[in-house]
Structure 1
Amino acid sequence: MIRVQDIKLSVEQNKDMLIYKIAKKLHVQPSDVITYTIFKEAIDARKKDNIQFVYTIDVKTKKDNIILKKFPDMKAPNMKYIPPPSNISGSKKRPVIVGTGPCGLFAGLILAEAGYNPILIERGKKVDERIEDINKFWEERKFNKESNVQFGEGGAGTFSDGKLTTQIKNTRCRKVLEELVNAGANENILYKNKPHIGTDILRSVVKNIRIRIETLGGTFRFNTCLTNIKVNDNKLVQIEVNNKEWIDVDTCILALGHSARDTFNMLYNSNLNMEQKPFSIGMRIEHLQSWINKAQYGEKFAKNEKLGAADYKLVHHCKNGKTVYSFCMCPGGEVIVASSEEGHIVTNGMSEYDRDNENANSALLINVSTDDFGSDNPLAGIDLQRKYEKLAYVLGGNNYDAPIQTLGDFLNNVETTDLGEVKPTYAPNTKYVNLRNYLPLDMSEAFEEAIYEFDKKIENFGNKDAILTGFETRSSSPLRLSRDSNYESNIKGIYPAGEGAGYAGGIMSSAVDGIVIAEKIIERMTV
């Protein structure tokens, strides 16, 4: 097919106009266009009075040969995923995958498609049971340390916006998108410039991927936590689960996620090589979604249904050397408690597919270097995370209520006593505090500087009624499990993978990392 770029439609125009735009671009008649598929759709909102959709489109015409002979670079690349060759001639032991987030699921899918019958173990529960436990936590403060936003089928991303944006350029991304659509995600994720699934749809998507893996010969074991490993001659020979059962295994993918702190500690004591990694800490900030829509789309298009809820992505390099940036922006979403340890509060953001709630929220994060950890121990970053998570719990009243502050009060460095237009979405409840009192001076000054700069870019970002909720600590893993060019750790047979191991940042990159490692294992076993 021919790939045609920079096809534009105004917001008022219907997609039926695309065929005429394509024909004009290719200098052919509309009747010459046999079929076309949208490859990419983006929004150009730089001119608020003339917002446009910009398309990249794959086209088949009656004059393809003539066009491609003149413009060979217009040939659309083949996006089909080609699995690695496999004859299952290596180990007869089934590979084990620890964790069923996007990394674990896609590693499991590739191995299952190749006939390796993987075993996927997950310390949490199936997604339907997990939803019940999380709702009990949010509504009744009944916390389950093994079934929460961090642990369970689908991983932490199941209770998020389901964003699929990524900075990586990898042909396997298309495989991930197609499998997600096959499992129930809206097919528009195949072409949206900023695709998202929505937590409401993602919950059934992960379940359908599990069912597919099982159909292909894979096995899932829920409520099954990795508690120890056995190594002989620097090779993995067994893993222990739930402190009692040993399983013979020589191939194990560690797709742990960034919150399996007890497992990281066990692996450290088992001499698996790991190192500190910088991460970020911050707060969730909430605005009225109507403010963001108006700032991004202008008065004319702020309520346009075609455009949907507007988002933003911001970064500011501060005078004191710190960098403040927005992360995991959730249009029309809510702030949630995402704790994985009792007596600690972790905030995160979540949106359903329609993104139709009143508030927009985003993490407002600041970089933390390894010099800030206060120790050379690879696990020191976890201790720093815990410090702020415990602090949030105490400030909220020791009952999982979250400490909040209006943005105006943060800038004035006073405790909040009343709210304005923005109401917090966090549950169970919130408590007024002065969050600024509990941040190091360089961090609070950096946040203040960044807020004023962000307000110049997005009207009302610095509105005094915006709400800050403390604290966000799990934007990425604070450590990295070392691996070589074959993706294997210093212990042969162990493959650190995904976000928790320090090699990904989000659903897409985690899924791709799982695919790559599965391919390496298939290659090894095929030799």
Structure 2
Amino acid sequence: MAKIFNNIEIPIDQDLEEKLQWMVPEHGPYRILRQSVDARRAHSPHFVYSIEVAEKGETLNIPEFNLEKIATPKEKPLIVGTGPAGLFAALRFVERGVPCVLFERGSDSGARMKGINQYWRHGKLDTRNNVCYGEGGAGLYSDGKLITRIKSPHIPYVMNRLVRFGAPAEIQWLSNPHVGSDRIRRVIPKLREFLKANGCEIHFNTQVTEILMEGKQTVGVRTEHGTEFRSPHVILATGHSAEDMINHLNDIGVHLDGKSFAMGLRIEHSQADINKIQYRQFSEHPKLGAANYKLADHDDKTGIGVYSFCMCPGGYVLSAGTEEDGIVCNGMSNYNRNSPFANAAIVVSIDHNKLFGNDVFGGMKLRRQLETQALKSVRAAGGTKELPAQNLLDFLGGTHSKKGPRDLRPGSSPSGAINIRLDEILPSHMTKRIQEGLNKFNRNMKGFVVENAQLYGIESRTSCPVRVTRDNETLQSITHAGLYPAGEGAGYAGGITSAACDGIKIAEKIIEQLQ
């Protein structure tokens, strides 16, 4: 019978198989369940494994997640949005024998990438094909980080299916699983073709402009082309940036709640500096790769937290806006994480009730205000498409040095950067809290605050500031039956994996009704 061994420590210059041979001399096949790096200062860096080992002559029972099909229903569920929630809802439907219809305002991933490159290189924004809109959604297409804090039985299924469509196998066991922007572009088309071949009808360049209702019952959608699609089951998975859909829902009386979220800036260091902080004298060891970090500082008096988010080792800082009058920054990294830079969002928690009270759209208004102010500052400084940036020490000082602002060093952004007073763009309470957090981080990670680090703005799309409130049991809108808010845009997920799991959960709830 197979046995599971946890917390197996392997020094970086040793091999797992050698250790296993010593532990279980006559073992059969084995598989890694979990792998992480422990680089705490009390000892030299080493790998920590959990493995399942079969006895000699046995085989391992590796789950394939074969799903039972149901009788084909008369009505096809409709899914709005091809981010992780929408794609995995569609995948679950077709694997269970349920045909469905999927709508995306942007293009397929090939055409989408052309629009993104035009924006990064020339500043020409395609409002339908950018880092947030288009096939794959925001997080899935821009980076492919799969870290999640949720506990869901659907996580192994999500990882299994991503690997089936071309993601690296190690995402199933690494503690910080990551597909990479370069590889995710190969995964998405394979997933799309599987959906189309198994009963999913996909409409690209087709924005859903109206959710159709009869009283308080959802009956379908209408697209920008005037075409109506009828169904009593509509999954709304439009992502964290679809303000037009949020406004439409408000207009037709769907219940919305203001939601706490986070905003701030993105910090960029030399990856070599982060490696030295985390790995010390082992920083150039070939087995360790690009180091990451996770930092947080909570103020017990105010309840306001500052924390790192979406850390991208060996990555790039991206311009990720969706409107022509604003600037947004984000981060990404390719599979090999071989950029010489490391970046991460440094964001402040925004308590909706304390800051906005009963104004459901207060967070969304603040988001737009900061994004438009960032672009105005760039234009006022003589820029066009560049991201606003500031030397880290200048930001912490509150004012530039007596000799004027420090020069920006060359960075990773394909859009370039221009020197801007980010400490003046943010509201003063946010600037102060980020400054406090950065100084605290430097005490925890000595060397985090250095002159060759710089900040970019504005990191404003960490999550949607509005929640489309749903019933905990039925997963439908609490005011409109048949409308299923899903994923990050509805306020029920915080990343790729959690959004995918949410889409699956909703698909299964609809399948219960169809049966």
1:15, CA displacement in angstroms?
Answer: 3.1
- Correspondent of 1:34 among 10, 28, 37: 28
C-alpha contact (below 8 Å) 1:158/1:203 kept by paired residues: no
C-alpha contact (below 8 Å) 2:29/2:54 kept by paired residues: yes
Match for 2:396: what amino acid?
L
1:320, CA displacement in angstroms?
Answer: 4.7
- Correspondent of 1:523 among 485, 498, 512: 512
| Aligned ranges 1:69-468 → 2 under 5 Å | 81=65, 83=67, 86-88=70-72, 90=73, 92-242=74-224, 244-299=226-281, 301-318=282-299, 320-371=302-353, 373-374=355-356, 376-397=358-379, 399-415=384-400, 417-419=405-407, 422-468=409-455
C-alpha contact (below 8 Å) 1:228/1:239 kept by paired residues: yes
C-alpha contact (below 8 Å) 1:277/1:480 kept by paired residues: yes
**Matches of 1:21 and 1:343 in 2, distance apart?**
63
**Matches of 1:217 and 1:305 in 2, distance apart?**
46
**Matches of 1:437 and 1:154 in 2, distance apart?**
35
1:379, CA displacement in angstroms?
Answer: 2.5
Deviation per residue, 1:13-39 (Å, 9 max, x gap): 12331422441xxxxxx12x1111111
Instruction: Tell which deviates more after alignment, 282-291 or 400-409.
Output: 400-409
SS at match of 2:232: coil
Match for 1:404: what amino acid?
A
* Aligned equivalent of 1:12: 13
1:140, CA displacement in angstroms?
Answer: 0.8
* Aligned equivalent of 1:67: none
Match for 1:357: what amino acid?
S
Match for 1:406: what amino acid?
N
1:85, CA displacement in angstroms?
Answer: 6.2
**Aligned: 1:53 with 2:36:** no
**Matches of 2:260 and 2:202 in 1, distance apart?**
33
Match for 2:465: what amino acid?
P
1:160, CA displacement in angstroms?
Answer: 3.0
Instruction: Tell which deviates more after alignment, 154-163 or 213-222.
Output: 154-163
C-alpha contact (below 8 Å) 1:373/1:384 kept by paired residues: no
Deviation per residue, 1:5-62 (Å, 9 max, x gap): 1112110012331422441xxxxxx12x111111111111114752111110011114
**Matches of 2:378 and 2:63 in 1, distance apart?**
50
- Correspondent of 1:495 among 461, 471, 484: 484
Match for 2:467: what amino acid?
R
Gap runs ≥5 in structure 1: 24-29, 65-75
Please report the RMSD computed on the Cα atoms of aligned residues, expressed in angstroms: 1.9
Deviation per residue, 1:172-227 (Å, 9 max, x gap): 10000000101111101111111100010011111111111111111111001110
Instruction: Tell which deviates more after alignment, 393-402 or 233-242.
Output: 393-402
Match for 1:54: what amino acid?
V
Moved over 6 A (4+): none
* Aligned equivalent of 1:27: none
**Matches of 1:454 and 1:160 in 2, distance apart?**
27
Cα distance change, pair 173–453 in 1 and its aligned pair in 2 (3 A): same
Count of residue pairs brought into register by the alignment = 504
SS at match of 1:166: coil
1:298, CA displacement in angstroms?
Answer: 1.0
**Matches of 2:277 and 2:156 in 1, distance apart?**
32
**Aligned: 1:482 with 2:432:** no
SS at match of 1:436: helix
C-alpha contact (below 8 Å) 2:370/2:425 kept by paired residues: no
Deviation per residue, 1:230-258 (Å, 9 max, x gap): 21132112311015221112111001100
Deviation per residue, 1:433-487 (Å, 9 max, x gap): 2211233332222112111111112232111221011111000110111111111
C-alpha contact (below 8 Å) 1:79/1:171 kept by paired residues: no
C-alpha contact (below 8 Å) 1:7/1:22 kept by paired residues: no
C-alpha contact (below 8 Å) 1:396/1:403 kept by paired residues: yes
C-alpha contact (below 8 Å) 1:103/1:511 kept by paired residues: yes
**Matches of 2:28 and 2:164 in 1, distance apart?**
26
1:307, CA displacement in angstroms?
Answer: 1.1
TM-score, structure 1 as length reference: 0.92
- Correspondent of 2:496 among 507, 510, 522: 507
SS at match of 1:53: strand
C-alpha contact (below 8 Å) 1:316/1:453 kept by paired residues: yes
Cα distance change, pair 374–399 in 1 and its aligned pair in 2 (3 A): farther
Match for 1:11: what amino acid?
I
Match for 2:84: what amino acid?
P
Deviation per residue, 1:421-443 (Å, 9 max, x gap): x5322232222122112333322
SS at match of 1:349: strand
Deviation per residue, 1:108-134 (Å, 9 max, x gap): 000011111111100010001000010
Gap runs ≥5 in structure 2: none
